[in-house]
Amino acid sequence: HIHAKLYPPSPCTVYTDATPYPHNPAHCVTVLGQHPPPNVTAATILTMNTTTAEEAAIALALAQSPTPQFVLSDSQQAIRNFIRGNISPMAFQRFTNNPPSDTVTLLWTPAYTGVGANEMVHDRARELIDRAAISTTPARDAPAGKPTSLLQYRDITLHYRLLRCQYPPPHPH
């Protein structure tokens, strides 16, 4: 992994993630620091917008003390919004209440690629919402009318395959 060679685990690198609660209009935002042992900072953000939650996670990372040198996120859009200075009011409030004391580099890392700490922060966020949720029903069983995110390649291809179907699938027996 080139990423692991460029950004090895260090106290100056943090990873962020946001995960939606299954049955609530909220996200769990998580920041994983690399201080030995790894430390986790988490918060619940009342929003249904995942990009807003990812921006809030980055703002939470920027408020860490000491200020991290690198903040890695798997949300390209959230990083682009920070670069443009066009972040949500929720993230802006957190950012202005605790501005970083030093220069920080925001970096994008692809999700679900096996990058250790990025996978770890995602797992911690999932653990936190599973503890807080009354029902731990998978997202694909979400209530009708609530869209689910298509994150896995398998789910995306299945979605498009089902869109092309003109008739229902054959009976399984």
Is 3 a residue whose pLDDT tops 60? no
Q: Output the DSSP codes for 28-57.
A: EEEEEE-SSSPEEEEEEE--S-HHHHHHHH
**Cα separation of 164 and 137, whole Å?**
28
Identify the top-confidence range among 9-23, 71-85, 119-133.
71-85
Q: Compute the mean pLDDT over every residue in the chain, rounded to the nearest whole number.
A: 78
Give the residue, 43 or 152, on which the prediction is more confident.
Answer: 43
Strands of 13-20's sheet, edge to edge? 39-45, 27-33, 13-20, 70-73, 105-108
98 vs 173, which has greater pLDDT?
98
Taking the CA atoms of 73, 91, 19 and 78 in sequence, report the sign of the dihedral they define: negative
Terminal CA-CA length for the chain: 46
Ranking 1-15, 16-30, 84-98, 135-149 by mean pLDDT, the lowest is 135-149
Which is higher by pLDDT, 66 or 30? 30
| Domains of the chain: residue spans and CATH | 2-138 (3.30.420.10)
Q: What's the mean pLDDT in 40-57?
A: 92
pLDDT (average), residues 36-44: 82
What are the two backbone dihedrals, phi and then psi, of residue 106, each rounded to the nearest 5 degrees?
Answer: -90, 130
Residues 52, 33: Cα–Cα separation, whole Å: 21
Instruction: Assess whether pLDDT exceeds 80 at residue 14.
Output: yes
Q: What is the pLDDT of residue 114?
A: 63
CA atoms within 13 A on the CB side of 158: 9
Q: What is the mean pLDDT of residues 128-155?
A: 58
Highest mean pLDDT among 6-10, 96-100, 127-131: 96-100
pTM of the predicted protein model = 0.69
Tokens for 49?
């917008």
Local structure of 14: helix, strand or coil: strand
Q: For residues 54 and 77, is the Cβ–Cβ distance under 8 A?
A: yes
